[in-house]
Structure 1
Amino acid sequence: MTDEKLLEIRDWHSRSVEETSELLDSPSKGLTQEEVRRRLEVFGRNRLTPPKRRSASARFFSQFTNVLIFVLLGASVVTAVLGEWVDTGVILGVVLINAIIGFIQEGKAEAALEAIRKMLSLQASVQRDGRRLDVPAEELVPGDLVFLASGDKVPADLRLVRTKSLQLQESALTGESMPVEKSEQPVAPDAPLGDRTSMAYSSTLVTYGQGTGIVVASGDRTEIGRISSMLSQVEPMQTPLLAKMAVFGRWLTVAILALTAAIFAVGVLWRGYPVPAMFLAAVGIAVAAIPEGLPVVMTITLAIGVTRMARRNAIIRRLPAVETLGSVSVICSDKTGTLTRNELTVRAVRTAQRVYEVSGTGYAPRGAIFRGEEEVSPEAEPVLLEMARAAVLCNDASLHEEGGHWTLQGDPTDGALLTFGMKSMLDPKAEGAERPRDDLIPFESEHKFMATLHHDHHGRGEVFVK
C-alpha cells in the first residue's frame, strides 16, 4: 500500500495485529535506519505544527478593532475639534489602558494554549535494526515498534500488539477519570474513542503494566493533533455586548443625523438663520447626543472584570468575553481534570471494630487520622497500621515532591492509598527494603484484586491483597 493510502486509514483499532504489521511493513525486529529516514521525509516529524502567531505589534493594534473603541476614538476626534482637550485626554487614556490590558491578557492566553503542543513525550523506547533504543519522540515514524512501561507518556498513536496488564490514563482525551485496561484484540470499527482498547493514544499516560505497539499516526495526524488543529480553526464570534452595541450605534447614528438635519432645515428654511451658524449649532447638538461616557464606563468595567478573574487564574483572551459570561445560562463542562483535579483521597478507614477518618486532600502526605473527635497515632492502633502497610506495599504507584507540590506516577487509586500510608508515618522506601517484594498478581478485571508476596529477612512471608 502506498504511503498516501496509509495516511487515509483511521480504523486501525478494528484491524488485526497481523494486518497492521503487514500494511505498515513493520517487522518484528523493527525498522532499519534507512527506512526511518525515508519515512521521516514522507510523514514528517512527530510533533504538532505550531499555529501562525501574530507579532506583538499586530496583537497590540488588534485591540483597537471593536465597535466600543471606534465610538471612543470618534468621540475623542469630535472633542478635540471642539477644543475640549481634557475630555480628549481622558477618552484616549481609556482607549490606551484598554489596549494594554487586552494585549497582556491575550499574550497570557496564547501562552496557555501553547501548552497543548508540549504534550508529546521527549523520549521513546523503540525496536530498530533488531536493537532496543531510546530515541527522541520527534523521530518516530509510522511502522516503528514502541515499548511502553508504567509511568511512560505515549509518544504517538499506537496499535497495540502485545500487552501485559496494561492500563492507560486517557482523561486528557476522553475525560474518563479511571485508567482503561488495554489489550491487543481488535474492536468494532464504529467504537468510540474511549472504547478503543486496542489503541494507545499520544499524550495519554501508562499507569500500570507493559505493552508494545506499532506507530500508526504521528504529529498532527494523532488524536491530540486533531484536537490542536480544531482549536486553531475556531472562528471568532461576536459577543452579545458587541452585537448590541453595533445595533445601538447604527440606530443612534441614524437618529442623530436625522435630528441634526431636521434642526438645520428648520433653522435655515423656517426661521431664516444663517447657514454657517445653523451648521455649527447642528454639529454641537450631534456631539452632545453622542454618549461618549457609555463606552468609557463599559470598557473600564470589563477591564476590572478581566483583572479580577486573572487573580483567580482565569485567563480571558478577549476583553468583551467577560460580558459573555454574564449571558451564560447553561455550562457544559468536562469534569475530570477540569472541575476536578483527577486526584483521589482516602477519607475514611474501616476495620472490623472501628471507623477512622483521615484529613488532608490530594497527594500531599499531610494530614491526621481521627477516631471520632480524637486524633490517634497509627502506632497505637495495630490493625490500622497493618492496613496502612498493606496500602504501601501492595502498590505500584510512587509520589514525588517538586517545589512543594506532590505529583503522582501511577494509578490514582494507588496514589490515594500510598498517601494514606505515608500519613500513617510509613516510609514507602523503608517498608520496601524491610519487606522486599518477591512476586505479585497484578490487578485484572477478571479477578478484581491485586496481591503481592513479601519476606521480612527472617524467613517469614506475607501476602498483601487489595
Structure 2
Amino acid sequence: MLDLADSAAQEGYRTFRTAHDRDAAHVVEDLASTTHGLSADEADRRLRQHGPNSIPTGTRRHPVLRFLAHFNNALIYFMLMGAAAAAVLGHLIDTGVILAVVLVNAIVGFLQEGKAEDALAAIRSMIAPRASVLRDGQRVSVPQADLVPGDVVLIEAGDRVPADLRLLRARSLRIDEAILTGESVAATKHTDPVDANAALGDRRSLAFSGTFVATGQGTGIVFATGLQTEIGRISELLGGVEELTTPLLRQINRFGQRFTRFAFVGAAVLFLFAITLRGYQWDEALMAVVALAVSLVPEGLPAVITITLAIGVQRMAARNAVIRRLPAVETLGATSVICSDKTGTLTRNEMTVRRVVTPGQAIFVEGSGYNPGEHRLFEDTGPRSPAGHATSLSLIRTGLLCNDARLRADGAEWHVEGDPMEGALVTLAMKAAFDPENERAEWPRLDEIPFDAAHRFMATLHKMSLAEPVVLIKGAPEAVLAMCTRQEAPDGPTALDAEYWSDRIAEAAAQGERVLGFAMRHLPEGTERIDFPDVETGLTFLGIVGFIDPPRDEAIRAIAECASAGIAVRMITGDHAATAKAIARQLGLGEDPVVLTGHDLDQVSGEDFARAVRETVVFARTSPEHKLRIVQALQAEGRVVAMTGDGVNDAPSLKQADVGIAMGVKGTEAAKEASEMVLMDDNFASIVAAVHEGRTVHDNIRKVVGWTLPTNGGEALTVVIAILFNFAMPMTPVQILWVNLILAATLGLALAFEPSEPGVMRRLPRRPNAGLLTPFILWRVIVVSLLFAAISLGVYFWALNLGRDLETARTMVVNTLVVLEIFYLFSVRFLHMTSFTYTGVKGTTPVWIALAVVVVGQLAFTYLPVMNTIFGSRPLTLGEGALIIALGAASFVLLEVEKHFIRDRFQDD
C-alpha cells in the first residue's frame, strides 16, 4: 500500500498514497517528522519540493468559446437579422456598421467577463482556508496551501480537514465524509491501524482532505497533499469558475427574448403598413424597418448591467465583504433584518478576564485584550503562596492547564492561537506571574475530554511528579456546578453553596460578562485515562471567572445607521440572557431590549412564535434549531434576512437566510461553504457597508435602465412617426447605430461607476420583488422618450424649413439626440434628489471621461470627411451647434422641474 516517492526517498523520508494500515509511530518515522511537527525551515524546503497543497480549479472556457457566447442573445440575433436585410439590399455601409456595433458589444462583454472571473478567482484566494499546525513545537495558523508531508495538524469540530492525515490522537472525533463516501452519518475515528484492504469509508485511522469535522478533536500527520489526496483524485467534484449569472441578468435575458418577439411582430406590421398604405418600395420599407429595429434594441444593456454588478462586488471586497455568490449583490440592497452573532461581530472578540470569584473573595482584573502588560494581580513575589490567594491561584492554574490556547507576541501586539476565552485565561495566568510553558511542563497533560456543546465542559488529566493525578474542569458554570458536591475554601473543602454561586453568576452576567466555572478532582494513583464517569460527580468547585468582550465602536455606529435605514437588527447568541441584554444596551439596541432564551422559544409555536420573534431584539442561549426557526419566521413575514454565523452549527440558518454571512477570520469552513458572503474582518460594520454598496448597485442598475431606454424610445418614435406620416427618415439606420454605440459604450458605462446618492442609508429597504422599471422610472421612460422625439423632430423640420439639405437636417437630429442624452445623464445620476446642486453639476471622473469621448466622437462624426462619407453626416455651423446645446440645457431644466413635482407621487419601492 506504500507509494514510494523517489524525490522524497532521496531526502530520507517517504510519502504515501495511503497510511491507514500502518502504526502511527511508523508513519511519523517514515515521514522523518516528530509528534511536535516540523521546523519552519524544513517545512519551507518540503513546500518547494512538493508544491502547494491545493487542487487546480476548474478549467475555464476557451477564450474563443467565451467570446462566441456573447452572440448567443435574442437581442443580438435581431440585430444580425437587420444586418442581413441591409446586406441583401446592397446597403453595405449599413451592414458594416450594424456588424461593428454587435462586435463591439461582444468585445466589451468578453473583456468584462474575463475581469469578473479574475476578480472572483482573487476573491476565492482571499477566503482560502487555514490550518492549525505545530511548527517548531508551537501551534501556529498557516494557509492550507502551505501544508507539507510531515506537518502535524490539529483539527476540531467545524473545521475542514486540510490534507490527508494519519491520526495520532482522536478524542470523540467524528468526521463527515459524505463528499467521498456518500455516507450521511459521520464516521467515528480512532488511531489504531485497520486492514490494508479496508474500503475508503472504513479507514478509521485517516482523516481525508475536504471532509468536515463534526465533533471532537484530533491531531494528525500529513501524509498526502494536493493531487495526491483522495479528493485530488476526484478533483472534478470541486467547482470551477463561478457562473457569472444572477436572477437580474436572467430577467434581462428573458426581457430580451420577449422584446425580440414583440419587435419582430411590430416590424412586420410596420413593414406591411409602409408598403400598402404609404406607398413605400419594399426595399425602402425594409430599410425603414431595419432603422426601427436597431433603434429599439438596447443591445449594450446586458453588458453594462454585468459591469455594474462586477463593480459592486469589487467595491464590497474593498470594504471587507467578499461576495461568494453574485445574487447576493442584488439581495443585499433589499435586506430588512440582520440577525447577528455577538462575539467578534458586534464585539471585539478580544476576551479579557474582568473578575475572579472564589469562596469569600472577588478579584477585579485590569487591562484589556491579550497583552498582560504591567498589570499584576498580586503584590506578593511569585505565584506560589501569596497570603489569602491560594484558592484564586488554584483556579487560575486550572484555567491555564485546562486550556489549548497559546499567546504569541508580534511586536507590541499580542495574538491568541486558539479560543479567545482560553487566550484570556493564559493572559490572566501571566498577570498572576505564572510562566505558562513552565506550568505546562511541570503538570503534563495525560488525557482529556474535549469541550462539546452536548456536555458543555472540558476536562484534562494532569500529574506532577510525586503528586497524585488531578482532573481539571472548566465549562458553563451551570454544568460544572451540577457535577460538584463541595467548594474550595482557604481552610479546606466545604459544602457547596449553590445559591451563593447562582447570585455571583447573575451578578457578573448583569454586567455583560461571560462566565466560566472551574472545578477539580483528585484521582487514584496510576490513573492515565479519564472518561465521563470520572468527572460527572464528586468534583470540588473552585470558583468562576467573568470575561468581558467590549462592543466595537464601529458596530455601535453601524447599528445606528441601520435604524435610519429601516433595517432591524437582531442579536442571536449562545450567551447567558443577562449578558446578552447588557451588551445589547451598550450597542444601542434599546434601553430595555426584549430578551428571549432558547427555552422560552421552545414554549411557543405558530402565531405565538411569530409574534415572539417579531417583538424580540435579543435571543440568548439558542441552538441551531432555534436560529433556523427564527430566520424562517422572519422570512414568513416577507422580511429579507441577512444572517451571520461562524460555526458548523450555523450552517443550516446561513443556508436558509436570504444572505448568509460567514466570518472570514474565526469562521469554520462549513459556515463559509453555506454562505453567500464572507466578512474578512468579522466586523458587523462591514455588513452594513455591504448593504450600503448593495443599495448603490441596485440604484446604479436602475439609472442605467432609466437612461438607456429613453434613448432607444426617442429614436424609435421618430422612425415610427416618419413612417406613419410618410416623410423622410430623420435618421438613417447607421446614424441610429452610431448614437447607440457612442452613448452606450461611454455615458451608459459611466453610470456603473456612480457613487452612492446622499441618504442611501436613510431610505427604507426596497421590496424584494420590486422590478427595475419602478413606476417613477417607467413614467420617465415614457415622458423622456416623447420629449426627445418631439425635440428631435422639431429640430429636423426647423432645419428643412430653413432650406438645409436632408443630410444636414439628419446631422442636426443626431447631434440633438446626443446632447439631450448628455444633459439627461446629469439628471438621472440622482433619482432621489435634485441634480441642481454643485455635486450634481460637477459630475465624477468617469462621467467627464465619458463626456470627453462623446464630444470628440461627435466632432469627428460631424466634421471628419471620412465619417461624413460613412454616416452621411454634414458639418454644422456654430449657431446650429449653439442651438442644439441650448435645447439640451432647457431639457435638463424641464426634467428637473418634472422630477421635483412628480417624484414623490410614485412609490419606487
TM-score normalised by the shorter chain: which range applies?
0.5 to 0.7
1:257 aligns with: 264
Matched, 1:449 2:456: no
Query: In structure 1, what is the equivalent of residue 377 of structure 2?
Result: 378
Task: Report the alpha carbon displacement of residue 252 of structure 1 after superposing the two structures with TM.
Answer: 0.9
> Are 1:316 and 1:322, in contact at CA under 8 Å, matched by a contact in 2?
yes
The offset of 1:439, in angstroms, is: 3.2
CA contact (8 A) 2:163 2:209 kept: yes
- Quick one: which amino acid aligns to residue 50 of structure 1? P
Q: Residues of 2 paired with 1:172 and 1:398: CA distance?
A: 30
Is the CA contact (8 Å cut-off) linking 1:106 and 1:316 kept in structure 2? Answer: no
Structure 1 residue 301 displacement after superposition: 3.6
User: 1:315 offset after TM fit, Å?
Assistant: 4.0
Task: Report Cα offsets for 1:405-456 as digits up to 9, x if no partner.
Answer: 755445665334224445x4x676x5655x684233445239953365779x
Distance in 2, matches of 1:269 and 1:182, equals 84
Equivalent residue in structure 2 for 1:417, among 405, 421, 425: 425
Q: Is the partner of 1:365 in helix, strand or coil?
A: coil
How far does residue 257 in structure 1 lie from its aligned partner after superposition? 1.6
Question: What does residue range 288-437 of structure 1 map to in structure 2 within 5 Å?
Answer: 288-291=295-298, 294-295=301-302, 298-299=305-306, 301-316=308-323, 322-323=329-330, 345-346=351-352, 348-352=354-358, 353-354=361-362, 356=364, 365-366=370-371, 378-379=377-378, 386=393, 388=396, 391-392=399-400, 395=403, 397-401=405-409, 408-409=416-417, 414-421=422-429, 424=431, 430=435, 432=437, 437=441
Whole-Å Cα distance in 2 between the matches of residues 327 and 280 of structure 1?
A: 45
Q: Is the 8 A contact 2:163 2:222 kept in 1?
A: no
Shift of 1:74: 7.7
Aligned twin of 2:442: 438
The answer to whether the 8 A contact 2:275-2:285 is kept is yes
Question: Do the aligned partners of 2:22 and 2:193 also contact (CA within 8 Å) in 1?
Answer: no
Instruction: Tell me the CA shift for residue 323 of structure 1.
Output: 3.5
SS of residue in 2 equivalent to 1:378: coil
Give the C-alpha shift of residue 263 in structure 1: 1.3
Q: Does structure 1 conserve the Cα–Cα contact (< 8 Å) formed by 2:58 and 2:239?
A: no
* Maintained 8 Å contact 1:59/1:103: no
Structure 2 counterparts to residues 181-220 of structure 1, below 5 A: 183-184=190-191, 199-202=206-209, 220=227
SS at match of 1:272: coil
What is the deviation of 1:249? 1.0
**Bigger Rg, which one:** 2
Amino acid at match of 1:365: Y
In the alignment, structure 2 segments of 5+ residues that lack a partner are 4-17, 31-49, 87-91, 137-145, 180-186, 195-200, 381-385, 451-456, 474-909
The answer to whether the Cα contact below 8 Å between 2:449 and 2:458 also exists between their aligned partners in 1 is yes
CA contact (8 A) 1:124 1:137 kept: no
SS at match of 2:279: coil
Q: For the structure 1 residues 150 and 354, does the alpha-carbon distance in structure 2 shift closer, same or farther, using more than 3 Å as the test?
A: same
Name the amino acid aligned to 1:449.
Answer: A
Distance in 2 between residues matched to 1:196 and 1:349, nearest whole Å: 47
Match in the other structure for 1:246: 253
Deviations 1:194-245 (A, max 9, x none): x99854444899xx99977896x87557566589643236884853223222
> Is the 1:47–1:218 contact (alpha carbons within 8 Å) kept by the matching residues of 2?
yes
- Distance in 2 between residues matched to 1:344 and 1:168, nearest whole Å: 28
Query: Is residue 106 of structure 1 aligned with residue 117 of structure 2?
Result: yes
- Give the 3 Å change call, closer, same or farther, for CA 427–225 of structure 1 in structure 2: farther
Partner of 1:282: 289
1:105–1:315 Cα contact (<8 Å) kept: no
Q: Deviation at 1:351?
A: 0.3
- Cα 1:147–1:315 change in 2 (3 A) is closer
2:117, 2:242 within 8 Å by CA — same for their partners in 1? no
CA distance in 1, matches of 2:219, 2:325: 44
Aligned in 2, Cα 1:249/1:427: closer, same or farther, shift over 3 Å? farther
By how many angstroms is 1:119 displaced? Answer: 6.5
Provide structure 1 residue ranges, at least 5 long, that are not aligned to the other structure: 4-19, 34-43, 126-135, 141-145, 175-179, 188-192, 370-375
Bigger relative contact order, structure 1 or 2 (CA pairs below 8 A, ≥6 apart): 1
Distance change >3 Å, CA 241–CA 282, structure 1 → 2: same
Q: Deviations over 1:360-382 (max 9, x none)?
A: 5xxx625999xxxxxx9634798
Check conservation: 1:347, 1:357, Cα contact below 8 A: yes
1:159-204 deviations in whole A, cap 9, x for unaligned?
Answer: x4x64x7687989999xxxxx99644799xxxxx9x9985444489
| Separation (CA, whole Å) in 2 of partners of 1:338 and 1:67 | 46
* Percentage of identical aligned residues: 28
1:351 alignment partner, SS class: strand
Q: Deviations over 1:16-48 (max 9, x none)?
A: xxxx99x94779856999xxxxxxxxxx99955
Is residue 156 from structure 1 mapped to residue 189 from structure 2 by the alignment? no
Q: How much has 1:346 moved relative to structure 2?
A: 4.8
* Alpha-carbon contact 1:349-1:355 (below 8 Å) kept: yes
Displacement, 1:55? Answer: 9.0
- 1:259 Cα offset (Å): 1.2
Letter in 2 for 1:290: V
Aligned counterparts of 2:418 and 2:352: Cα–Cα separation in 1? 16
CA distance in 2, matches of 1:244, 1:271: 38
Structure 1 residue matching 2:444: 3-state secondary structure: strand
Q: Is the 8 A contact 1:182 1:197 kept in 2?
A: yes
Partner secondary structure for residue 443 of structure 2: strand
Q: Partner of 2:290: helix, strand, or coil?
A: helix
TM-score (norm. length: structure 2):
0.31
The one-letter code matched in structure 1 to 2:309 is: L
Tell me the secondary structure at the aligned position of residue 448 of structure 2. coil
Q: CA deviation at 1:116?
A: 9.0
User: Which amino acid counterpart does residue 415 of structure 1 have in structure 2?
Assistant: G
Q: Secondary structure at the match of 2:370?
A: coil
What is the correspondence of 1:70-85 to structure 2 with a 5 Å cutoff? Answer: none
Counterpart code for 2:449:
S
Whole-angstrom CA distance in 1 between matches of 2:412 and 2:116: 28
